[in-house]
Chain A
Amino acid sequence: MAEYAKIFKAYDIRGTVPDELDEGVAQAVGAAFARLTGAPAVVTVHDMRTSSGPLAEAFGLGAASQGADVVSAGLGSTDMLYYASGSLGIPGAMITASHNPAKYNGIKLCRAGARPVGSDSGLAELRAMAETGVPSAQGAAGTITARDLLSGYAAHLKTLVDLSGIRPLTVAVDAGNGMAGHTVPKVFEGLPITLVPLYFELDGTFPNHEANPIEPKNLADLQRAVVSSSADIGLAFDGDADRCFVVDERGEIVSPSVLTALIAVAELAREPGATIIHNLITSRAVPEIVSAHGGVPVRTRVGHSFIKAEMAATGAIFGGEHSGHFYFRDFWFADSGMLAALHVLAALGSQDGPLSALLSAYARYRSSGEINSEVRDQRATTERVRAAFAGTDGVRMDELDGLTVARGDWWFNLRPSNTEPLLRLNVEAPDEQTLADVRDQVLRIVHDDAD
């Protein structure tokens, strides 16, 4: 009997195959999904893991047994699912475990129009139904049809970014043996791009490096390749290719906050006065730059559901997170690393200077990156930090997400992890010395376990 409690997470389903997640579970989930959404059709996409094809097929069989037609789109990236769900107007499932080790797999679900499914927006009911058993449906089973959506996906993305006048670019891309190896060649077709591909062979065992570009060590190969091939830019994608990280022509890693600012400026040129969403870990440079370009910056908690909710509420044109997720209103409010990459290529290719020069205006502050500390009592430790800074001249504090303390031109945020006994610290300051001072002081308080 499957342990549904273990595999149903806050936003998706994930577990080890086959002990926690197998075709039986996938089929039950597919059936429950079709029944709960009541949709006449669903679409399935899957990544390159060995178990993904069979799990997608089982999911489809489950949905069809409930009378839903199934559009089996085959191999694709997670943003391809959003494209499919958005353009076809039907709910869908992506079989993937992103960058997790090979023995894992998972299911990401969305409602029609790529609308999110989370524990308080359907996932809990889904789990309950799958667990107790889905009632058999009356009527005929749905039909399962295979459809290749890769061309449509690539073409659609290129309608959202103006790449018409770009100069020839040499672009190094590290797919990390993930789905970008499948999608990049198609998306780059017809563009004046000389592609330097790394690890484009689809392989869910990730033989070269973890497909998780947020870790600098996973960008080392790309950095070397950019320099040795004299590329204008390097792009790295994660396992299911929904996140994209950038390396400039010098081989230096570009912070997602800088990319958020760059894309925001491009979107504001397209739509003056638009609203741009960022989370509270993103650099202060982003709201500053957005305001300077006549846009309206809105700050949210960390987490894609908050970004998406705020985007929907404000009609924001774009949202960016420090974690490398970029959300676009015109892409059904969904996130796409590929679309973000195309924006960066358009900005780079529409002028003659190198990427580092183009981005220098957006990289204003020094960031500590996320520093995790294990603590016994998250609340008590955060309180001690708050108490220490409470009497700081000119300090501003808020508790939108954990504790944020800001003074003059530095700030820090201290946030508890939901799943582990950790506090996550992010600091930003105008120079290295201030950054070190603030960071070390906060960590000193966090690590003080004198009780």
Chain B
Amino acid sequence: MKIDDWLLEILVCPKCHSPVRVDEEASELVCTGADCGLAYPVRDDIPVMLVDEARDPAKG
């Protein structure tokens, strides 16, 4: 994934505002918030930071 560093630095989970970490293999940005953990898709190197589009790993 090629997301600009400066953008990665400022991206947060729109739901809980916790920082996100990069998951290269899954092409996702995963929320690091303890009670959240939503995984946002990255399509063609463009992050899609919409809660509706996120995957909730807790629900499988």
List A residues at the B interface (Cβ < 8 Å): 384, 387-395, 407, 434, 437, 440-441, 444-445, 448, 450
Contact = CB atoms under 8 A, between A and B. Distances in A.
Interface string B33-60: 0000000100111111110010000000
A310 B20 CA distance: 42
A123 B45 CA distance: 47
Q: Which 8 A-B pairs have CB atoms at the shortest separation, nearest pair first?
A: A391-B49, A390-B49, A393-B12, A391-B14, A387-B48, A450-B44, A437-B6, A387-B50
Nearest to A448: B44
21 contacts: A384-B46, A387-B49, A389-B49, A390-B49, A391-B13, A391-B14, A391-B20, A391-B47, A392-B11, A392-B49, A393-B10, A393-B17, A394-B10, A437-B4, A437-B7, A441-B6, A441-B7, A444-B45, A444-B46, A445-B46, A448-B46
B13 A441 contact: no
Nearest to A434: B6
Contacts of A444: 45-46
A393 to B, nearest CB: 4
Given A393-B12, A441-B4, A388 B47 contact: yes
Nearest to A408: B10
Interface residues of B, number: 21
Contacts of A394: 10
Interface of B: 4, 6-7, 10-14, 17, 20, 29, 40, 43-50, 53
B46 A391 contact: no
A392 B12 contact: yes
A390 B10 contact: no
A131 to B, nearest CB: 48
A383 to B, nearest CB: 9
Contacts of B7: 388, 392, 437, 441
A301 B43 CA distance: 32
Nearest to B4: A441
Nearest to A433: B6
A384 B12 CA distance: 17
Given A391-B20, A444-B45, A448-B44, A407 B10 contact: yes
Contacts of B20: 391
Given A437-B6, A441-B4, A390 B14 contact: yes
Nearest to A407: B10
A215 B48 CA distance: 36
B40 A391 contact: yes
Given A391-B49, A393-B11, 6 more contacts: A384-B46, A390-B14, A391-B12, A393-B17, A437-B4, A448-B45
Contacts of B6: 434, 437, 441
A441 B10 CA distance: 13
A261 B26 CA distance: 49
A450 B43 CA distance: 9
Contacts of A384: 46, 48
B10 A388 contact: no
Contacts of B14: 390-391
Contacts of B13: 391
B7 to A, nearest CB: 6
Contacts of B48: 384, 387-388
B44 A390 contact: no
Contacts of A392: 7, 10-12, 49
Nearest to B31: A391
A72 B4 CA distance: 61
A178 B13 CA distance: 55
A94 B29 CA distance: 58
